[in-house]
């Protein structure tokens, strides 16, 4: 994986970048990497890239996802250490964390500019190229994808159902 | 339910002081009408106990044990035939059919005449074996009546039988000595339906008096292997008793004075023993009846709806009780389990999960109530309460009551917060819910604080 | 002389109906011997049984041995064949008995041979020694003889299994008590509480990271200004739904929460679409 990263990151990063981030920060990323960069260099680069290219709203979302990972991880560790005696409680507690993580991940994919980059970015490109000046990228998405708010509404709906099932199951 | 007719009859015939629990039509098969007189005390005793004696000769061709497919008699007393058998109406097959329809048979043999092979084959059906020459006589040079058989030693003097095993009820015990003239011995097969009532003494042996030899070198059986009186109680509790010496029923021996070698003169107790033997065979004693059977959850206030539920949950505390009566000559009395024995309840699914002793808790005028409490096993399925009480000399009890045992219902498990082990996951679940709410709040109302984001969104404009 | 004497006595007995001194049976020259198969003649045990007495030491009988008893039955000290000359074996424990008739010659000489094959299984499984008695008796008024002769012990080799026998008799059966599975045990409360604390500690971490990243709720006032009702209703109904879930967790039943959730859900849907519309307006205005 690490060997592929250098080639993968630059190729995927530039595609959404022109419209979203200043080119200087973008270019600084690939520049520091050479073909035989060390693993730590690559990791640092990826981290810097993340810090610089990710919008704050997406980072809040990522923090929430990290929180979920932490909660799920602690629950799993407890299961390993102390046994799974009320097994349904373990399943619902752990599945609540995992399910919330998955839902949040899909929300991130639908709302974050970098996460949804591949499909939407290209679309916005084509839209921009076609001369249709659109204020926001999501405006252009509307015809094919979903708006951020619609995605958020779906997210809330899904989360409530998840919570219902988990509470039902934990007894 | 099948006791009801006899109970009704009992009510009508209250003047009669005793009555069998299963009918009073007694067929006496007697070949020689002249012999009838020598058993007059026996007939008198039987009639005095309420039996309706019907004397028939085995040669009578009209004789039939069945009438319109139903039993024509309730009991049969067979005296040994003089001719080669009992004739076609009393063939072994007919007698077995008679027993299959709950009839009782008392068969008396004698060592004086050769037993017909038809009877021998009937006895083989019950795993009772006569000697191959079928004309053996038991002799005992140590326990014989010196007054009547000083030379032939073929009148055996025996004490009244004790109980068969330490855990069985003794229906034939008592004081006195029994005289068994010219007894035809038999041996018993290995069969749990068979029980010896009276065995020969250790020093007894059997021989064929027709064989003229100085000393006996081939014996059929010796000592206590030889049974003089045996009982076979079929699986339907029909009773068959084999009495080796018909002479012991004669008036002469009912009140004879006998003297054992080296002993004192004594009166025989044959009359009392004959009463016990006929009473047992014709179901005046040793008949068990089950009354109420109740099972319910172990709790204090039991209503009618709580009785005998068809479903239990695993680990329920359950109480089972059964009411048992014993018929004793003329009425039902409370049944007491013999010492060393136990009335047992099995809670079974294919094999017993519990087998518990039922303890007597209450006694009514004519029954004892046994009960036990136990916890339903932690295994769901179709279980049955089973009381399988089969003992020698007692009619068999086999009660089976099916119940369903189910798992805990969803709302019967302890709630999750009561289990401390689950607290971590409960906390995890509610953290996720709380985190979600906080995230919704933040997502909706957070202003992008960084200028980068602002600038970005402005650029987008 | 003896013979004549007994004849005289018998005739006396026969003539007088009341025997004054009852005659009695007995035996003489009784020997018990045990011969092992294959061993030479004369090898093995051979002992004389005293009349009216018993051997003091038990007679061992091995699997390959033959027990042989020879005696002469006597009626009043004169040799005579009796109708019953038996060797009676009795298990003192169970009271079981079996007799083996001697083969008797005309002059009273009798012999019996016994091997393991002749013994019933019940006797072979007995661990103690078996009582052996000699019975001599016959018709007539002579007193029969029944005295212990010796003890028979079965000399079983160490590797020879004790035979077992089973008889089926109706009787009480051993009690059975179901063995329940152990209840599941909760882990020690200390571990549980530690992990609960760890789970709850993720909250401050989340809050800290969010604050570090600059999360805020500054738009709450603007949102409330532009669309107060939908926002309040939306947030309130969300909280209400989670609250209903909490009540469901603690006490309510499913059929109690369904109408409640349906009612609140409608509010959430309607207010949510308004509120999110406002949010979208802010976003399009570049405020987000």
B458: confidence class by pLDDT, cuts 50, 70, 90 = very low
Residues C261 and C237 in one domain: yes
Of B2, B43, B41, the residue nearest B21 (C-alpha): B2
What string of DSSP letters covers chain C? -HHHHHHHHHHHHHHSSS-SS--BEEEEEEEEEEEETTSPTT-S-EEEEPTT---SSPEEEETTEEEEEEEEEEETTEE---SEEEEEEE-TTT--EEEEEPEE-TTSEEEEEE-GGGS-HHHHT--SPEEEEEEEE-SSSSBPEEEEEEEEEEE--TTSPPP------------B-PPPPPPP-PPPHHHHHHHHHHHHHHHHHHHHHHHHHT---THHHHHHHHSHHHHHHHHHHHHHHHHHHHHHHHT--HHHHHHHHHHHHHHHHHHHHHHHHHHHHHHHTT--
Residues C93 and C134 in one domain: yes
Going along B390-440, which residue ranges are E strands?
397-406
Contact list, C175 vs chain B (CB under 8 Å): 344, 355-357
Residue B387 scores a pLDDT above 80: yes
Helix axes B423-445, A56-82, angle to 10 degrees: 180
Contact C273/A at CB under 8 A = yes
Residues near B96 by beta carbon (within 8 Å), at least 6 away in sequence: B122, B125
Residue B25 scores a pLDDT above 60: yes
- Is the distance from CB of B355 to CB of B131 less than 8 angstroms? no
Contact list, B452 vs chain A (CB under 8 Å): 56
Contact list, B205 vs chain C (CB under 8 Å): 84, 86, 99, 101
CA distance B206 to B184: 8
Angle at B106 between CA B101 and CA B112, to 5 degrees: 145
Q: Which residue of C has its CA nearest to B202?
A: C97
CA distance B242 to B196: 9
Contact list, B427 vs chain A (CB under 8 Å): 93
* Å between C178 CA and nearest CA of chain A: 24
Per-residue three-class SS string for C53-74: CCCCCCEEEECCEEEEEEEEEE
Is the residue at C249 inside a domain?
yes
Residue ranges making up the domain that contains C208: 188-216
Highest mean pLDDT among B113-127, B208-222, B374-388, C98-112: B374-388
Hunting for tokens 């040799």 — which residue is that? C79
Contact C288 B447 (CB under 8 A): yes
Residues C264 and C241 in one domain: yes
- Is the distance from CB of B185 to CB of B196 less than 8 angstroms? no
Contact list, B437 vs chain A (CB under 8 Å): none
- Is the distance from CB of B134 to CB of B149 less than 8 angstroms? no
Q: What is the number of CB-based contacts under 8 A between chain A and chain C?
A: 79
Residues C243 and C151 in one domain: no
Residues C209 and C279 in one domain: no
Of C99, C171, C245, the CB nearest to B223: C99
Contact A129/B at CB under 8 A = no
Of B414, A83, A168, the residue nearest C192 (C-alpha): A83
Residue B450 scores a pLDDT above 70: no
pLDDT score recorded for residue C46: 82
Number of domains into which chain C is organized: 3
Q: Is the ipTM of this complex over 0.90?
A: no
Q: List the 9-48 stretch of A: residues with Cβ below 8 A of B.
A: 19-21
Contact list, C134 vs chain B (CB under 8 Å): none
CA distance B301 to B278: 47
For all residues of chain B together, what is the average pLDDT?
87
CA distance B28 to B249: 13
Output DSSP code: residue B222.
Answer: B
What string of DSSP letters covers B172-205? S--SSEEEEET---EEE-S-TTEEEEEE--TT-E
Of B207, B217, B423, the CB nearest to C192: B423
Chain center to CA of A164 = 25
Contact A67 C280 (CB under 8 A): no
Q: Which of C192, C215, C273, C285 to mutate to test the interface with A (most CBs of A within 10 A)?
A: C215
Is the residue at C129 inside a domain?
yes
Pairing, β B52-56 against β B25-29:
parallel
pLDDT score recorded for residue C217: 81
B351-369 residue pLDDT tens: 999 999 999 999 999 999 9
- Is the distance from CB of B269 to CB of B177 less than 8 angstroms? yes
Region of residue A156 (left: phi > 0; alpha: psi -120 to 50; beta: else): alpha
CA distance C133 to C109: 17
Residues C146 and C70 in one domain: yes
Contact list, B458 vs chain C (CB under 8 Å): 286
If chain C, 288 residues long, is cut into consecutive pieces of 10 residues, what is the mean pLDDT of each piece?
Answer: 45 41 80 79 75 81 86 85 88 87 85 87 83 88 86 80 81 92 88 93 92 84 85 92 93 91 94 89 82
B166-179 residue pLDDT tens: 889 999 988 889 99
Contact A60/B at CB under 8 A = yes
Which phi and psi angles does C269 have, rounded to 5°? -60, -50
pLDDT score recorded for residue C10: 42
- Is the distance from CB of B326 to CB of B335 less than 8 angstroms? yes
Positive or negative, the Cα torsion across C256, C259, C260, C261? positive
| Cα-based distances in Å from C79 to A22, B92, C14, C112 | 140, 49, 19, 17
Chains near B with 3+ CB pairs less than 8 A apart are A, C
Token reading at B380: 């769901």
Give the 3-state secondary structure percentages of chain A, helix then strand then coil, rounded to 5.
75, 0, 25
Is the residue at C178 inside a domain?
no
Q: Which residue of C has its CA nearest to B373?
A: C177
- Is the distance from CB of B199 to CB of B162 less than 8 angstroms? no
Of C88, C167, C177, the CB nearest to B202: C88
- CATH code, domain with C125: 2.60.40
- Pairwise pLDDT comparison (A131 vs B144), residue with the higher score: B144
Contact list, A96 vs chain B (CB under 8 Å): 428-429, 432-433
Q: Which residue of A has its CA nearest to C276?
A: A149
pLDDT score recorded for residue A2: 40
Pairing, β C46-49 against β B381-389:
unpaired
Positive or negative, the Cα torsion across A21, A25, A29, A30? positive
Residues C39 and C147 in one domain: yes
* Å between C194 CA and nearest CA of chain A: 9
Is the residue at C105 inside a domain?
yes
Contact list, B424 vs chain C (CB under 8 Å): 192, 195-196, 199
CA distance B359 to B320: 11
Contact list, B426 vs chain A (CB under 8 Å): 89, 93, 170
Q: Which of C186, C189, C199, C273 to mutate to test the interface with A (most CBs of A within 10 A)?
A: C199
* Å between A35 CA and nearest CA of chain C: 33
B232: confidence class by pLDDT, cuts 50, 70, 90 = very high
Of B416, B433, B448, the CB nearest to A57: B448
pLDDT score recorded for residue C39: 67
Q: Which residue of C has its CA nearest to A139?
A: C284
Contact B435 A152 (CB under 8 A): no
Residues C229 and C211 in one domain: no
pLDDT score recorded for residue C19: 43
Region of residue B41 (left: phi > 0; alpha: psi -120 to 50; beta: else): alpha
Q: How far apart are the first and last CA of chain B?
A: 97
Residues in a beta bridge with B25: B52
pLDDT score recorded for residue C11: 44
Contact C181/B at CB under 8 A = yes
Look at chain A and count its residues. Answer: 171
B273: confidence class by pLDDT, cuts 50, 70, 90 = very high
Helix axes B423-445, C228-250, angle to 10 degrees: 180
Contact B445 C220 (CB under 8 A): yes
List the C84-90 sheet strands across, edge first. C59-62, C145-155, C130-137, C84-90, C97-101
- Is the distance from CB of C238 to CB of B440 less than 8 angstroms? yes
Contact C241/B at CB under 8 A = no
Contact list, C199 vs chain B (CB under 8 Å): 424, 427-428, 431
Of B336, B339, B323, the residue nearest B399 (C-alpha): B323
- Return the exposure string of C66-84: e unless at least 16 CB atoms fall within 10 Å of the residue's CB, then b: bbbbbbbbbbbebbbbbbb
Which phi and psi angles does B26 have, rounded to 5°? -110, 120
Contact list, B435 vs chain A (CB under 8 Å): 64, 67-68, 71, 100
CA distance B448 to B455: 10
pLDDT score recorded for residue C165: 79
Every domain of chain A and the residues it spans = 1-53, 55-170
Q: Which of A50, A150, A167, A171 to mutate to test the interface with C (most CBs of C within 10 A)?
A: A167
| Cα-based distances in Å from B218 to A33, C100, C104, C284 | 114, 9, 11, 122
Residues C148 and C84 in one domain: yes
Of C195, C241, C245, the CB nearest to A74: C195
Contact list, B456 vs chain A (CB under 8 Å): 20-21, 55
Token reading at B20: 């069998």
Q: Which of B141, B225, B233, B349 to mutate to test the interface with C (most CBs of C within 10 A)?
A: B141
Residue B112 scores a pLDDT above 80: yes
pLDDT in tens, chain A (171 residues): 343 334 333 433 344 434 444 444 444 444 556 677 788 999 999 999 888 888 888 888 999 999 999 999 999 999 999 888 888 899 999 999 999 999 999 999 888 765 444 444 443 433 333 333 334 444 444 445 678 888 999 999 999 999 999 999 987
Of A57, A90, A163, the CB nearest to B425: A90
Residues C236 and C205 in one domain: no
Contact A93/B at CB under 8 A = yes
Token reading at C232: 């309040």
Residues C132 and C224 in one domain: no
Contact list, A85 vs chain C (CB under 8 Å): 184-187
Q: Which residue of C has its CA nearest to A171?
A: C249
Residues C222 and C194 in one domain: no
Is the residue at C260 inside a domain?
yes
pLDDT score recorded for residue C56: 83
Of C127, C130, C133, C97, the residue nearest C112 (C-alpha): C133
- Is the distance from CB of A114 to CB of A16 less than 8 angstroms? yes
Chains near A with 3+ CB pairs less than 8 A apart are B, C
CA distance B406 to B349: 13
- Is the distance from CB of B168 to CB of B106 less than 8 angstroms? no
């Amino acid at each position: 994986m690490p060997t592929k990263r250098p080639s993968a990151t630059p190729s995927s990063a530039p595609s959404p970048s022109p419209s979203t981030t200043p080119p200087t920060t973008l270019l600084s990323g690939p520049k520091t990497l050479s073909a035989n960069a060390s693993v730590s260099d690559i990791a640092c680069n990826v981290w810097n890239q993340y810090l610089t290219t990710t919008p704050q709203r997406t980072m809040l979302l990522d923090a929430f996802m990290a929180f979920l990972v932490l909660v799920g991880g602690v629950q799993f560790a407890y299961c390993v250490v102390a046994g799974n005696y009320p097994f349904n409680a373990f399943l619902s507690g752990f599945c609540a964390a995992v399910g919330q993580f998955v839902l949040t991940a899909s929300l991130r994919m639908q709302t974050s500019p970098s996460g949804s980059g591949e499909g939407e970015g290209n679309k916005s490109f084509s839209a921009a190229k076609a001369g249709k000046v659109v204020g926001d990228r999501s405006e252009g998405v509307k015809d094919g994808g979903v708006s951020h708010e619609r995605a958020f509404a779906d997210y809330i709906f899904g989360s409530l159902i998840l919570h219902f099932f988990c509470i039902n199951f934990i007894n | 339910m099948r006791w009801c007719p006899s109970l009704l009859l009992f009510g009508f015939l209250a003047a009669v002081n005793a009555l069998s629990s299963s009918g009073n039509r007694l067929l006496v098969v007697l070949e020689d009408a002249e012999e009838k007189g020598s058993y007059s005390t026996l007939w008198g005793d039987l009639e005095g106990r309420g039996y309706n004696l019907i004397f028939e000769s085995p040669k009578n061709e009209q004789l039939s044990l069945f009438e319109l497919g139903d039993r024509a008699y309730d009991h049969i007393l067979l005296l040994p035939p003089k001719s080669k058998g009992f004739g076609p109406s009393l063939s072994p097959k007919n007698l077995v059919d008679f027993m299959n329809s709950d009839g009782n048979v008392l068969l008396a043999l004698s060592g004086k005449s050769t037993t017909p092979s038809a009877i021998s084959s009937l006895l083989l059906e019950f795993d009772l074996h006569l000697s191959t020459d079928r004309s053996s006589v038991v002799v005992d040079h140590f326990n014989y009546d010196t007054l009547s058989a000083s030379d032939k030693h073929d009148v055996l003097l025996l004490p009244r039988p004790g109980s068969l095993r330490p855990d069985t009820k003794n229906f034939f015990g008592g004081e006195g000595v029994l005289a068994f003239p010219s007894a035809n011995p038999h041996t018993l097969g290995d069969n749990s339906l068979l029980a010896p009532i009276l065995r020969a003494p250790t020093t007894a042996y059997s021989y064929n008096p027709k064989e003229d030899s100085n000393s006996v070198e081939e014996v059929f059986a010796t000592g206590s292997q030889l049974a003089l009186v045996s009982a076979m109680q079929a699986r339907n509790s029909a009773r068959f008793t084999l009495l080796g010496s018909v002479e012991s029923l004669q008036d002469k021996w009912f009140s004879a004075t006998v003297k054992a070698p080296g002993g004192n003169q004594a009166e025989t107790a044959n009359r009392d023993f004959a009463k016990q033997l006929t009473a047992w065979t014709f179901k005046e004693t040793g008949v068990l009846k089950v009354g109420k059977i109740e099972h319910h959850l172990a709790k204090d206030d039991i209503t009618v709806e709580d009785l005998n539920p068809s479903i239990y949950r695993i680990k329920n505390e359950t109480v089972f009780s059964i009411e048992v009566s014993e018929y004793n000559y003329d009425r039902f009395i409370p049944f007491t389990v013999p010492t060393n024995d136990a009335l047992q309840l099995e809670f079974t699914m294919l094999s017993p999960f519990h087998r518990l002793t039922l303890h007597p808790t209450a006694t009514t005028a004519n029954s004892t109530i046994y009960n036990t409490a136990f916890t339903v096993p932690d295994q769901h399925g179709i279980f049955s309460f089973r009381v399988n009480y089969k003992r020698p000399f007692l009619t068999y009890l086999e009660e089976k009551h099916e119940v369903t045992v189910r798992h805990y219902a969803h709302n019967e498990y302890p709630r999750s917060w009561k289990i401390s082990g689950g607290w971590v996951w409960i906390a995890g679940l509610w953290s996720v819910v709380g985190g979600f709410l906080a995230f919704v709040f933040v997502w909706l109302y957070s202003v992008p604080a960084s200028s980068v984001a602002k600038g970005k969104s402005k650029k987008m404009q | 002389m003896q013979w004549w004497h007994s004849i005289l006595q018998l005739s006396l007995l026969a003539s007088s109906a009341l025997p004054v001194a009852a005659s009695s049976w007995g035996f003489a020259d009784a020997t018990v011997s045990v011969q092992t198969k294959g061993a030479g003649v004369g090898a093995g045990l051979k002992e004389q049984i005293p009349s009216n007495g018993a051997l003091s030491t038990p007679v061992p009988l091995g699997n390959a041995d033959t027990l042989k008893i020879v005696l002469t039955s006597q009626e009043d000290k004169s040799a005579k064949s009796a109708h019953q000359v038996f060797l009676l074996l009795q298990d003192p424990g169970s009271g079981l008995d079996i007799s083996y008739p001697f083969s008797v010659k005309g002059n009273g000489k009798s012999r019996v041979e016994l091997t393991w094959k002749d013994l019933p299984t019940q006797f072979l499984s007995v661990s103690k020694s078996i009582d052996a008695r000699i019975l001599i008796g016959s018709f007539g008024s002579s007193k029969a003889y029944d005295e212990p002769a010796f003890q028979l012990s079965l000399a079983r080799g160490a590797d020879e299994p004790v035979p077992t026998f089973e008889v089926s008799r109706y009787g009480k059966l051993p009690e059975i008590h179901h063995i329940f599975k152990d209840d599941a045990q909760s882990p020690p409360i200390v571990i549980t509480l530690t992990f609960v604390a760890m789970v709850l500690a993720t909250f401050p971490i989340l809050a800290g990271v969010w604050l570090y990243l600059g999360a805020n709720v500054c738009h709450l006032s603007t949102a409330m200004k532009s669309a107060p009702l939908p926002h309040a209703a939306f947030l309130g109904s969300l909280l209400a739904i989670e609250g209903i879930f909490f009540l469901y967790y603690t006490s309510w039943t499913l059929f109690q929460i369904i109408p409640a959730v349906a009612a609140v859900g409608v509010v959430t849907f309607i207010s949510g679409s308004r509120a999110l519309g406002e949010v979208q307006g802010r976003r399009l205005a570049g405020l987000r």
